[in-house]
């Protein structure tokens, strides 16, 4: 049976990160949004505190437990649950600052999933440096965003190297990363079976950052586009090695999907955190400026709207926690992760919109943070799979279940 009661450890982590978001993240958020970057001193501070987007596995010398290894006192795995709890609280502070935190980021899960011991040691060891380091996950292309199966970046084997050609875009921390996990195809005619995952260091010849995207929201977060132009990558950088793909068939595509199954609940939780911040600010603003206890019809509608916002966010959180709990329990959660992402992304956008509307003209003013929440939250219904794609995944799983039942 699913138990959503937080343990003392989970409560302590939540409370600490809420404090961190309130005292360290929020004070720099507006300036970071204006400048389009996070102050460098902030990164050094969070590294000294041991805070990053991904813990470094202990088996490669890191301080953190690593994905799939954090357990509660009952011996139950809780890595994914801690991730969604932490992500909501940190995004409540500021989502752009959060996804800019140093660490392996989305590049970490594929290396952990199929990387050889030697690869894990080599690629994670860069994070032991005193200076902050980043990694990134490069799947999206100009013609292949939500359609992961349609990637066009190619990988051609020549002796003991692979030669990669293609363009990757909308890559979070892609330019500042020490390495990117790049998905490419060795043979387009093989479809998904031709997919491979490579670790590409950003200092390799043929790797060129072509632009940093200018965005409506999450302005402090670096979003890059880069080109691979006859970029030579050692065969040792093929995640899992040649034999792994010979044994597993569509492993490259499966790794991409498995990564999404663990990260979509995290992204959904961040959306909830942003929307919660907007709702709380709007409610506090209304409380200070309106006498909501008076029997005025307009005030009644305001109270009903706030209640609806709270109800939807709570429902989204429960979907997220279920998907995270299933991942921790080792249960297939593709459908549940998609449900959490689809619902939370839509709800978070709606709640931020209502927060702006409840405040009237003041809601659109840069004097208030709900304006920034409104800009930041939209992408949470898009990246890591659009709401439309999530609904396709959900419906496909529903039909599969009906077929198995029949």
Structural domains for the chain: 8-109 (1.10.540.10), 135-249 (2.40.110.10), 252-405 (1.20.140.10)
Distance of alpha carbon 396 from the chain centroid? 23
- Choosing from 141, 384, 388, 404, the catalytic residue is 384
- What does the chain come to in residues? 406
Q: Specify the pLDDT at position 73.
A: 60
131 tagged catalytic:
no
What's the Cα-to-Cα distance from 384 to each of 31, 147, 285, rounded to whole Å? 27, 11, 33
Dist. CA 79–CA 65, nearest whole Å: 9
Distance CA 108, CA 7 (A): 26
pLDDT at 46: 85
DSSP 262-299: HHHHHHHHHHHHHHHHHHHHHHHHHHHHS-TTS--HHH
The CA dihedral of 350, 375, 313, 301, to the nearest 10 degrees, is -50
Please choose, from the candidates 270, 259, 101, the residue with its C-alpha nearest in 3D space to the C-alpha of residue 173. 101
Q: Tell me, what's the pLDDT at 61?
A: 37
Residues 6+ apart with CB under 8 A from 348: 271, 272, 274, 275, 313, 316, 377, 380, 381
* Backbone phi, psi, residue 65, to 5°: -80, -30
Predicted local confidence at residue 66, as pLDDT: 38
Residue-level pLDDT at 203: 96
Q: Cα(353)–Cα(359) distance, rounded to whole angstroms?
A: 10
d(CA 390, CA 217): 22
Query: Of all helices (H) and strands (E), which one includes residue 232?
Result: strand 223-234
Left if phi > 0, otherwise alpha if psi is -120 to 50, otherwise beta: which for 142? Answer: alpha
Mean pLDDT of successive 10-residue stretches along the chain, which has 406 residues: 82 92 95 91 83 52 43 72 93 94 89 91 92 93 76 94 97 96 92 90 97 95 97 96 72 67 92 98 90 68 93 97 93 93 96 96 92 96 84 86 68
pLDDT for 48? 79
pTM for the model: 0.88
């Amino acid at each position: 049976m699913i138990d959503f009661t937080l343990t003392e450890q989970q409560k302590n982590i939540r409370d600490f990160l809420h404090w961190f978001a309130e005292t360290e993240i929020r004070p720099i958020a507006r300036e970071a949004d204006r400048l389009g970057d996070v102050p460098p001193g902030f990164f050094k501070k969070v590294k000294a505190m041991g805070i990053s987007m991904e813990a470094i596995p202990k088996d490669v010398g890191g301080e953190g437990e690593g994905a799939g290894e954090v357990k509660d006192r009952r011996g139950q795995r809780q890595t994914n649950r801690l991730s969604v709890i932490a992500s909501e609280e940190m995004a409540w502070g500021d989502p752009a600052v959060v996804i800019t935190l140093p660490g392996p980021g989305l590049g970490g899960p594929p290396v952990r999933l199929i990387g050889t011991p030697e690869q894990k040691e080599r690629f994670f060891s860069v994070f032991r440096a005193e200076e902050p380091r980043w990694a990134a996950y490069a799947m999206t292309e100009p013609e292949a965003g939500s359609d992961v199966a349609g990637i066009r970046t190619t990988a051609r084997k020549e002796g003991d190297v692979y030669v990669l050609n293609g363009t990757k875009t909308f890559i979070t921390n892609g330019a500042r990363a020490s390495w990117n996990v790049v998905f490419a195809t060795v043979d387009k005619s093989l479809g998904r079976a031709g997919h491979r995952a490579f670790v590409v260091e950003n200092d390799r010849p043929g790797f060129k950052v072509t632009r940093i995207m200018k965005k409506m929201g999450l302005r402090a977060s670096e979003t890059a586009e880069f080109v691979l132009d006859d970029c030579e990558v050692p065969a040792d950088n093929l995640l899992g090695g040649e034999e792994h793909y010979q044994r597993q068939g569509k492993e490259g595509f499966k790794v991409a999907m498995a990564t999404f199954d663990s990260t979509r609940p995290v992204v959904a939780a961040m959306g909830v955190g942003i929307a919660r911040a907007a709702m709380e600010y709007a409610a506090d603003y209304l409380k200070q400026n309106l006498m909501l206890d008076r029997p005025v019809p307009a005030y009644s509608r305001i109270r009903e709207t706030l209640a609806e916002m709270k109800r939807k966010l709570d429902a989204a959180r429960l979907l997220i926690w279920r998907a995270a709990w299933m991942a921790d329990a080792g249960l297939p959660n593709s459908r549940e992760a998609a449900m959490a992402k689809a619902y939370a992304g839509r709800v978070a956008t709606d709640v931020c919109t209502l927060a702006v509307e409840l405040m009237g003209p003041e809601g659109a003013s840069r004097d208030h943070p709900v304006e920034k929440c409104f800009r930041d939250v939209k992408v949470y219904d898009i990246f890591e799979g659009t709401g439309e794609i999530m609904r396709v995944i959900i419906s496909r799983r529903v039909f599969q279940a009906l077929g198995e039942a029949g």
